[in-house]
Structure 1
Amino acid sequence: MDNDAYGHANNAAYFSWFDTAVNAWLIEQGLLDVEAGQTIGLVVENHCNYFASVGFPQDIDVGLRVGHVGSSSVHYEIGIFALLAQTAAAQGHLVHVYVDRDTRRPVSLPPALRAATLALHAPASA
């Protein structure tokens, strides 16, 4: 299902990879409890630029960094690489706004989330 009629990964697959990369990192850091956490991140923006083709069953590497940490939002930057490639096949971003699970209203980033995202922060290159 990841490949389109042209034999490469469908555009939608990249956004799924972006979401998976961010959420996997959050879970690994102990920052996201998908079942019961009171603070959850909602994707409010995403974008992708494509440079080279990848497709199933090809293995990929995914790079993740944080471009900006706001009071209730985080701008995650993601690179998709063919396995062992030195340049990205695609790169993009997604923005999470962190909200209360019940009210869906924005909340301040919890201290542990703020600290972890700031540790992953990489200023944009000039």
Structure 2
Amino acid sequence: MREDYRHWQRIPTRWADNDVYGHVNNVVHYAFMDTVINTWLITVAGLDIHDGLAIGLCVESHCDYRASIAFPEAVDAGLRVGKLGRSSVRYEVGFYPEHRDAVVAEGHFVHVFVDRATREPVEIPAGLRTAMEGLVVA
């Protein structure tokens, strides 16, 4: 349900997102997840993608499809944190067509934070962790 998500971003679909079957292709949902997560990390949580010492690498992703959407519909992407560990976080995303309350897809991404140079796991930086705690759901 929409109220289960803590952060929202509207993402427009593009003409090129539709496949030959007339709906947004399944791979596009993964790009939408990547977009809402990284937009939030950069604009809200303060992730420095160019010079920060820690970066998040995707180690797992998944999406369940419930219904289709098609261009020119926009999608409201709801974001929450389902699990917050020492060096990893599981982001959960729900996709809702604008102006509708029925979810069309739900997915998750798991990021492990690593040292930019060594690629060894590190603790999630304090500022990012604090922001992530605001997205945690019970």
2:57 aligned counterpart, secondary structure? strand
Correspondence for 2:94: 79
Distance in structure 1 (CA, Å) of the matches to 2:53 and 2:101:
39
Aligned positions of 1:9-20 closer than 5 A: 9-20=24-35
- The answer (yes or no) to whether the contact 2:81–2:89 under 8 Å persists in 1 is yes
Cα RMSD, aligned residues only: 1.0
Superposed displacement of residue 56, structure 1: 2.1
Measure the CA separation in 2 of the matches of 1:32 and 1:110.
9
> Within the alignment, does 1:118 sit opposite 2:118 as a pair?
no
Partner of 2:120: 105
Q: Measure how far apart 1:115 and its partner are.
A: 1.1
Q: Which runs of 5+ in 1 are unaligned?
A: none
- Unaligned residue ranges in structure 2 (runs of 5+): 1-15
The structure whose RCO (Cα within 8 Å, separation 6+) is larger is 2
Give the distance between the partners of 1:30 and 1:115, measured in 2 at CA.
8
Over the matched positions of the two proteins, sequence identity in percent amounts to 49
Q: 2:78 aligns with which of 49, 63, 70?
A: 63
> How many angstroms apart in 2 are the aligned matches of 1:8 and 1:83?
16
- Distance in 2, matches of 1:88 and 1:103, equals 39
> What SS does the aligned partner of 2:21 have?
coil
Task: Check the 8 A contact 2:45/2:127 in 1, yes or no.
Answer: no
Deviation at 1:30, TM superposition (A): 4.3
Opposite residue 109 of structure 1, the aligned amino acid is I
Letter in structure 2 aligned against 1:55: A
Equivalent residues of 2:45, 2:128 under 8 A apart:
no
Given residue 57 of structure 2, which amino acid in structure 1 is its aligned partner?
A: L
- In the alignment, which residue of structure 1 is the partner of 2:56? 41
Amino acid in structure 2 at the alignment position of 1:53 = S
Matched residues in 1 for 2:111 and 2:51: separation? 18
